[in-house]
Amino acid sequence: MSARIIHITGARPNFPKAAPVMRALDELGMDQMLVHTGQHYDDKLSEIFFRQLHLRKPDMSLGVGSGSHAQQTAAIMVALEAVFMEHAPELVVVYGDVNSTLAAALVASKLGIRLAHVEAGLRSFDRGMPEEINRILTDSVSDLLFTTSADANAHLGREGVPEEKIFFVGNPMIDTLLSSADRFDAGAVLSGIGLRATDPYLVATLHRPANVDDPASLTGLVDALVECAAIAPIVLPMHPRGARAFAATGILAEPGIHVIDPQGYLEFMGLVRGSRAVITDSGGVQEETTMLGVPCLTLRPNTERPVTISDGTNTLVTAETVASTLRERLASAEHAHRRTPPLWDGHAGRRIARIIGEQVA
- Give the residue with the Cβ less far from ligand UD1, 76 or 297: 76
Round to whole Å and give the CA distance between 327 and 315. Answer: 13
Q: At what angle do helices 172-180 and 348-359 cross, to 10 degrees?
A: 130
**Of 94 and 229, CB closest to ligand UD1:** 94
Of 43 and 328, CB closest to ligand UDP: 43
Q: Residue 293 touches which of ligand UD1, ligand UDP, none (CB < 5 to 8 A by kind)?
A: none
| C-beta closer to ligand UD1: residue 92 or 98 | 98
Shortest separation between residue 129's beta carbon and ligand UD1, angstroms: 8
What are φ and ψ of residue 120, in 5° steps?
A: -80, 160
Residue 265, contacted partner among ligand UDP, ligand UD1, none, CB below 5-8 A by kind? ligand UDP
224 in Cβ contact with 322 (< 8 Å): yes
Of 83 and 245, which CB lies nearer to ligand UDP in the complex structure?
245
Q: Which residue is nearest to ligand UDP (CB)?
A: 284
175 binds, among ligand UD1, ligand UDP, none (CB under 5 to 8 A by kind): none
Considering beta carbons, is residue 84 or 308 the nearer one to ligand UDP?
Answer: 308
Q: How far is the CB of 55 from ligand UDP (least distance, A)?
A: 13
- Tell me, yes or no, if 207 is annotated catalytic: yes
Q: Which residues bind ligand UD1 (CB under 6 A)?
A: 11-13, 39-42, 45, 66, 72, 97-99, 130-131, 207, 239-241
Residue 190's contacts (CB-CB under 8 Å, 6 or more residues apart) are 196, 197, 199, 201, 235, 271, 274
Q: Least distance (Å) from ligand UDP to the CB of residue 321?
A: 21
Residue 338 interacts, among ligand UDP, ligand UD1, none and using kind-specific CB cut-offs from 5 to 8 Å, with: none
Give 3-state DSSP helix, strand, coil % of the chain, rounded to 5: 50, 15, 35
Q: How far apart are CA 300 and CA 298, in angstroms?
A: 6
Contact residues toward ligand UDP (CB under 6 A) are: 12-13, 16, 205, 207, 237, 262-263, 265, 268, 282-285, 288
Residue 80 region by backbone torsions, left for phi larger than 0, else alpha for psi between -120 and 50, else beta: alpha
DSSP string, 210-264: HHHTSHHHHHHHHHHHHHHHTTS-EEEEPPHHHHHHHHHTTGGG-TTEEEEPPPP
Catalytic, out of 36, 155, 207, 335: 207
| Binds 241: which of ligand UD1, ligand UDP, none (CB < 5-8 Å by kind) | ligand UD1
Contact indicator for 112, 143 with CB cutoff of 8 Å = no
Smallest distance from the beta carbon of 132 to ligand UDP, in angstroms? Answer: 12
Shortest distance (Å) from residue 20 CB to ligand UDP: 13
CB of 256 to ligand UDP, least distance (A): 19
Name the nearest CA neighbour of 336 among 300, 320, 312, 354.
Answer: 312
42 makes contact, choosing from ligand UDP, ligand UD1, none, with CB < 5 to 8 Å by partner type, with: ligand UD1
Are the beta carbons of 97 and 138 closer than 8 angstroms? yes
Buried b (16+ CB within 10 A) or exposed e, 151-177: bbbebbeeeebeeebbbbbbbbbbbbb
Catalytically annotated residues:
207
